[in-house]
Structure 1
């Protein structure tokens, strides 16, 4: 076991050393990246002036010796484009940018050695490195990527094709001379696939082309298809809307025959309808037998009109439509009948619905009439609220005088309870004149005095008239009621309307 561990020890030592070396490199790079500050990315268009900034953020304990700007194109070798030494003037070595690159300040400083490039070109795109020579750490650097932008020229078009069975290109879309490369996509309900291709353009630009392929059918003709272009220089996506142009031979159908052409029927027509791309240039009618058209038949464009049906139109009519792609035929066989077919009546559901509708309508009308009649009867009978205010009750002097002249009450010995009950009455009970609507001295039509027809009480006016249909109170005597109780002593109506006491 010990021998096995001793053999593995050198391998472990090598692994630990390798890890320490990698960690040291990463730490050094991280430190240098923090000390030299640059912009990660700068965008520019051709012909503009761009500034590439650089600064050494922490110079404590470090001596800055020299600054060198290095240009590294995407495809090519690195080249020095600007050098700054504190003891010498700025220097601009030979490079593709010579004459267009310079330090930003007229008296550049090692702490902020920013540069500018005038009349920038598409070929200037690439990596720019600001590298410091320092002591004691050595070289430290920061990197800026210059990205050149070029707005592309976008276009799209639909390709006219003939319907077939193989995939073909039905639409093209192109974004030419852009930087960076544009992104293209298709939007359509048609069933197809898209292809994408890029090729370099002038001055480091890129041209992107996309094609939409599908198996063209007549049903796809006129469908919407759009190409959407996305590019960094555009505020929003640019969309090109188109319609597929699929050419196909005519698709023909004949309409107008209802299988009820009978002898003597007039003005019946057949119409030859055709859908085609391109549009048809000819429509011809003929008979299947090749015979001439009957005399009662008139032809105009795609319409065949029969002025009067007879046995001569008992044949097969053929419509032939042609366009640039091809010719299509369609036919219909006419059967001339001796008599017309009976017309179909309304369906059972329609009849039932009509009956139900009539019943509902009659019910509504009947209900409305009944409610109107009831309202009218109630109005005639006066069942509603009173439409007038009755006059206030008045005292009838004639009645009171008659009450005084009536027979006096019996002695106290005969009815002690009644005398005790009425002893509290200091004055005669006032009598309400319920006969205000009649003259005091008038008699009724039968010659009976009014006083004998009306009784005096404080009861509602509905009980004042014995002829009223309502039942009078129990203390009112009528000729219809049997008088089987003991009559009380005669008491003047002016004294009280209370019935006499009863002994049990």
Structure 2
């Protein structure tokens, strides 16, 4: 079918030359080919390339419409519509290009609207396309449209690596033109951007965010913002920073007096991962026999005696390491308490 059209195209070309030699198209005004200035689409999407013949006066007969692709200065046939022989699409486009107007596909003499639809766009489809009308007696009328094909970026892809420092990697893959990447976070760090050109003409952008891990940055949010052809993709990760325990000992209020009851010390540890082992010890001494240890709580049973005073240390351990916290416990005598009460009411 297509070879037949190639022959027909040559026959029409001879006919066109003959008519042009007989009738001056300059004397026939008003016929124009109407097309968009430019069209664009993403790889794999669908796009319409509009082409309409505006036939004001006097009326002319449309003999054939030819769509061509302009490649390095030469024209390649894409599709042909003929009112007598119907429609032919060149093999490279046969499964992806069709005339949108159903009447054109039914061998109708009405070819005023010969818009074509491109399906499953490829990067190689990006080019200038010519819509050429062969008419009698006006001769040839044509116009062009530029089709731009964007490589659809894959958006944000994450890779978070923990070393001596943290390396967060965000990738915008297979973009044409390439996407842009920026970071949103309260965590201080350094950014490094790189571009890689792919064999199909697309570009992959990689952005690395390097930060020094610390307890303050744990659970902070790191957001990668990718912008591509006015579309914005965001992806976030909550930082999981591992660190040794930060330890403190609570419970001693400075008012542990002799014979006071229900006192205890609590070992508080901020750690990631969580503390797996608590150990209590008394500097230069032995923990009193009336003390009960349950994980991070050291409880003194019964009335407090002078044996309780001293420096207590809590060692907290997780898989990263061991850190310690301490408190100095002193016991106030009863006479000091009475004197304090007396002074307050004096």
TM-score by length of 1: 0.47
Does 1:71 pair with 2:73? no
Aligned pair partner of 1:296 in 280, 290, 298: 290
Which structure 1 residue ranges, 5 or more long, are not aligned? 1-33, 347-504
Count the aligned residue pairs: 302
RMSD value, Cα: 4.7
Deviation at 1:320, TM superposition (A): 0.3
Match in the other structure for 1:54 = 51
Partner of 2:126: 126
Counterpart in the other structure of 1:142? 144
Cα distance change, pair 319–85 in 1 and its aligned pair in 2 (3 A): closer
Partners of 2:118 and 2:81 in 1: CA distance: 23
Specify whether residues 50 and 268 from structure 1 end up closer, same or farther in structure 2 by C-alpha distance, changes over 3 A only: closer
Structure 1 residue 301 displacement after superposition:
1.2
Q: 1:60 to 1:89 in 2, by over 3 A?
A: same
Superposed CA deviations along residues 168-207 of structure 1, whole A, max 9, x for unmatched, are 32x4444556676555443322223444455567977665
Cα distance in structure 2, aligned partners of 1:148 and 1:345: 86
Which residue in 1 is equivalent to 2:260? 265
Distance in 2 (CA, whole Å) between partners of 1:326 and 1:222 is 20
| Of 23, 36, 39, the match for 1:42 | 39
Question: Of 330, 335, 346, which residue of structure 1 is paired with 2:330?
Answer: 335
Shift of 1:254: 0.9
Structure 1 residue 305: Cα displacement: 2.0
Structure 2 gaps, min length 5: 1-30
**Contact 1:69–1:129 under 8 Å retained in 2:** yes
In structure 2, do the counterparts of structure 1 residues 80 and 344 end up closer, same or farther at CA, with 3 Å as the change threshold? farther
1:188 equivalent in alignment to 2:185: yes
The 8 Å contact of residues 184 and 222 in structure 2, kept in 1 or not, is answered as yes
SS state at 1:263 partner: coil
Whole-Å separation in 1 of the counterparts to 2:329 and 2:279: 18
Higher RCO structure (Cα 8 Å, ≥6 apart): 2
Which has more radius of gyration?
1
The answer to whether residue 308 in structure 2 is matched with residue 313 in structure 1 is: yes
Distance 2:74 2:316 in 1: 72
Identify if the C-alpha distance between structure 1 residues 249 and 88 changes in structure 2 by more than 3 Å, giving closer, same or farther: same
**How far 1:329 sits from its partner (Å)?**
1.2
Task: Identify if the C-alpha distance between structure 1 residues 83 and 304 changes in structure 2 by more than 3 Å, giving closer, same or farther.
Answer: closer
Do the aligned partners of residues 332 and 245 (structure 1) sit closer, same or farther apart at CA in structure 2, a change above 3 Å counting?
same
Say which SS state the counterpart of residue 312 (structure 1) adopts: helix
Tell me if structure 2 keeps the 8 A contact 1:82–1:90.
no
Shift of 1:312: 2.2
Matched residues in 2 for 1:160 and 1:344: separation?
A: 65
| Partners of 2:249 and 2:265 within 8 A in 1 | yes
- Evaluate the alpha carbon distance shift between residue 222 and residue 102 of structure 1 in structure 2; reply closer, same or farther with a 3 A threshold: closer
Of 89, 92, 96, the match for 2:92: 96
